[in-house]
Amino acid sequence: MLRTDVRYLKGIGPARSRQLARLGIENIYDLLLHVPRDYQDRRIITPICDLVPGEEVSVSGTVISSVYLKSRNGKSRLESIVRDNTGELKLTFFHFSYIAGKLKPGARIIGSGRIEFFGGISIVHPELIFLDEPGSDTRLVLPLYPLTAGLTQGIMRKLLETVLSEYCSAVPALLPAEALHTMGFLNRSEVIRKVHFPDDPEEGSRARSALALEELFVHQSLLNYVRTLASKRTGIEMIPPDGSLADFVSSLPYSLTGAQNSVLEIIAADLRRNVPMRRLLQGDVGSGKTVVAAAACIICCRSGYQAVLVAPTEVLASQHYRTVSSMLEPAGIRCGLLTGGTKALDRRDLLESLLNCTLDVLIGTHAVFEESVVIPEMGLCIIDEQHKFGVQQREKLLSGREPSPHFMLMSATPIPRTLAMTFYGDLDISVLDEMPPGRGNTTTRVMNRDSRSFVYEFLQNRIHNGEQAYIIYPLREASEEMDLKDATSSYEILKRGPLGHFGIGLLTGAMNPEKKLEVTGKFLSGEISILVSTTVVEVGLDVPGATVMVVTHAERFGLSQLHQLRGRIGRGGSDSWCFLMKSSDCGADGAKRLAVLDSTDDGFRIAEQDLRLRGPGEVAGTRQHGIPAFRIASLIDDSDLLEKAASMAAESNSWESLKDEYELRFRGLDILEL
């Protein structure tokens, strides 16, 4: 019943259902969960002398006059003047309902709405209570809903009244009963009723918390279920010959950081167990995750199994192939690279050597997950910087195999704990919280457009000095809609300018993989000094000679994204500079946001700021994680509820009974095979 399309409700035609769809409301359940953004408390009366434009208030007074006026464009309106003992206020109506017609001099009313400045201080279309009239709507606390063009608070309230009375008793229970009791409610239908029509705003916000808690609970129950399933799978006990790991570590040109050593110890312990590892390795850009991945591969291959290392793009996959194979091949471990661009013949050879186990480590893009790629002894799967790899995808990859391979996800996106619990709640988390020594300092400066010539000169000097630079644009190509500079046009201009003979390259997401590899190869070898690009360089690219980065229209990027971008420089030993160029129309908010990058290089703090300023969807790319946005819970404000939801989910173990709810709430998710 809850899935019934709103179109079948009385009084909803095609136009109204389109409006509701804009708010994400398609069925009865969506309506029930369309919680008010706030409440109007008509018990709190503001004296007219204290009114401030923009506020939602209630005013109580006596009507002293009502007149019909015609404006120049021929439209008429009704203006009533209401007086209390502090002043007078105008109420304006452009279309008159019978209610407006009752505003006769002497009528005592409460009028509620937003104060506007409309030829003096005024409320346009206030909601009215006629105090001398017994029959009028006298509910004192009213919901204020998120709206869209064509809908009014009145329409939404009517709709909710209908739906609540007809369907609310049908909602299934979700949370354990005690949880609701502690929050002051008898059952779930009471919670839903009260969130819409509470006796006072405090009760409404308590009901909202209860609904946020249940939402988080449903999601945590899924994660809990996945974790339980995974812990029951048989894993592979990897016990390599003595000294394998130590030999590898001593073959490196540097010694591992303390953080790398301790994470590696944890991973080695995971791999020894007969339960499959499920771990997230978090570490800021440049913290040295790749070598940890390579060491894990050593343990795996020395124990007689094959390993897979997956990167999000061809450029990164081939970079990994270069670095990882140069670390592993001296130890006699054979590596192969497989991407969408691999030639048919090479691919056949690769597949064959995988099958007969003469290939130990397969490095590649998502192409490695194609069905034709059979890895008979796969013991370890590592996925780097792949945020689209949500819990559903992880399960899909790991559930079919017996014994189940060990799994590790690596990410440089430092996400706050609440997000980690949500996106990676099925994984154990390790953090590389120490940078390798010997890195240069990166200085970040936020610049005005006026400083362009300074920046250009600076860039020119560094290039003459033999160093390399990135110039980043928000757009790949010129766009008619947006007046922004773009990578392609700027590339053409730079190429013909005085820096042209130092080698200028263009790298955009639209280029074909071979072209991308060619350009990054030239940048790495130094044949190209300046790489003009977009955010495609955001993850992973490792070119030690690059010391300058210029980001144009910087305010258009997320903070974490900028932090990732600037992680591309300062990778060699020398000092580096990142210039964040503001657009001329960058507002004060934008400038303040950018200043965060100037003040810290702690990725976690930056991510937290980003979360506050832009919301979780932007920070971690909620959709990309395969998790649709929560309807009610806020990952910023409800972190205490999240902890509670997680422990309740672990205790109650009730995923089976929540499946339907999950599907209904986070629709479009393919969880059938779970």
- Residues at the contact surface with ligand ADP, assessed by CB under 6 A: 254, 256-257, 260, 283, 285-291, 412, 436, 438, 542, 571
- 276 sits near Mg ion (criterion: CB under 5 A): no
Partner touching 283 among Mg ion, ligand ADP, none, CB below 5 to 8 Å by kind: ligand ADP
Q: Which does 476 bind (CB under 5 to 8 A by kind): ligand ADP, Mg ion, none?
A: none
Smallest separation (angstroms) from ligand ADP to the CB of 212: 35
Pair of tokens at residue 548: 């300058």
User: Angle formed by the axes of helices 201-232 and 655-665, to 10°?
Assistant: 120
- Minimal distance, residue 260 CB to ligand ADP, in Å: 6
In whole angstroms, how close is the CB of 197 to ligand ADP at the nearest point?
52
Q: Considering beta carbons, is residue 48 or 569 the nearer one to ligand ADP? A: 569
* Binder of residue 260, out of ligand ADP, Mg ion, none (CB less than 5 to 8 A by kind): ligand ADP
Min separation Cβ 476 and ligand ADP, Å: 24
Could you give the CA distance from residue 341 to residue 357 in angstroms, rounded to a whole number?
23
Closer residue to ligand ADP in complex, CB, 472/539: 539
> What b/e sequence results for 321-354 when a residue is b if at least 16 CB atoms lie within 10 Å of its CB, and e otherwise?
bbbbbebbeebebbbbbbbebbeeeebeebbeeb
The option from ligand ADP, Mg ion, none interacting with 291 (CB < 5 to 8 A, set by class) reads ligand ADP
Which of these ranges, 231-239, 390-398, 495-503, 535-543, lies near Mg ion under the rule CB under 5 A? 535-543
Pairing of strands 306-310, 378-384: parallel
If the CB atoms of residues 80 and 564 are measured against Mg ion, the closer one turns out to be: 564
What sign does the dihedral 91-92-96-97 (CA atoms) show? negative
CB of 542 to ligand ADP, least distance (A): 5
- Judged by beta carbon, residue 209 or residue 282, the one nearer ligand ADP is 282
Token pair 């194609």: residue: 370
Residue 661, binding choice from Mg ion, ligand ADP, none, Cβ under 5 to 8 Å by partner class: none
Helix (H) or strand (E) holding 583: none
The CA angle 427-433-438, to the nearest 5 degrees, is: 140
Q: Which of the listed partners (Mg ion, ligand ADP, none) does 286 bind, with a CB threshold of 5 to 8 Å by partner kind?
A: ligand ADP
Determine the 3-state secondary structure of 117 from DSSP: strand
Cα–Cα distances (Å) from 220 to 33, 214, 283, 418, 651, in that order, read 19, 10, 24, 12, 11
Nearer to ligand ADP, 134 or 438 (CB): 438
Beta strands 361-364 and 335-338 are parallel
Closest contact distance (angstroms) between CB of 309 and ligand ADP is 12
Q: Which residue has the tokens 């009239």?
A: 133
Q: 256 or 646: whose CB is closer to ligand ADP?
A: 256
Tell me the three-class secondary structure of 584-635, residue by residue.
CCCCHHHHHHHHHHHHCCCHHHHHHHHHHHHCHHHHHCHHHHCCCCCCCCCC
Whichever of 290 and 561 has its CB closer to ligand ADP, that residue is 290
Q: Which does 54 bind (CB under 5 to 8 A by kind): Mg ion, ligand ADP, none?
A: none
User: Closer to ligand ADP at the Cβ: 304 or 436?
Assistant: 436
Region of 218-226, 252-260, 436-444, 537-545 interacting with Mg ion (CB under 5 A): 537-545
Among 235, 379, 505, 540, binds Mg ion (CB under 5 A): 540
User: What 3-state class would DSSP assign to 523?
Assistant: helix
Angle CA 430–431–435, to nearest 5:
150
Query: Of all residues in this chain, which one has the CB nearest to ligand ADP in the complex?
Result: 288
DSSP calls for 385-440: S-TT--HHHHHHHHHT-SSPPEEEEEE-----HHHHHHHSTTSEEEEE--PPSSPP
Which contiguous run of DSSP H or E holds residue 199? Answer: none
Please say which residue, 153 or 290, places its beta carbon nearer to ligand ADP: 290
Binding site for Mg ion (CB under 5 A): 540
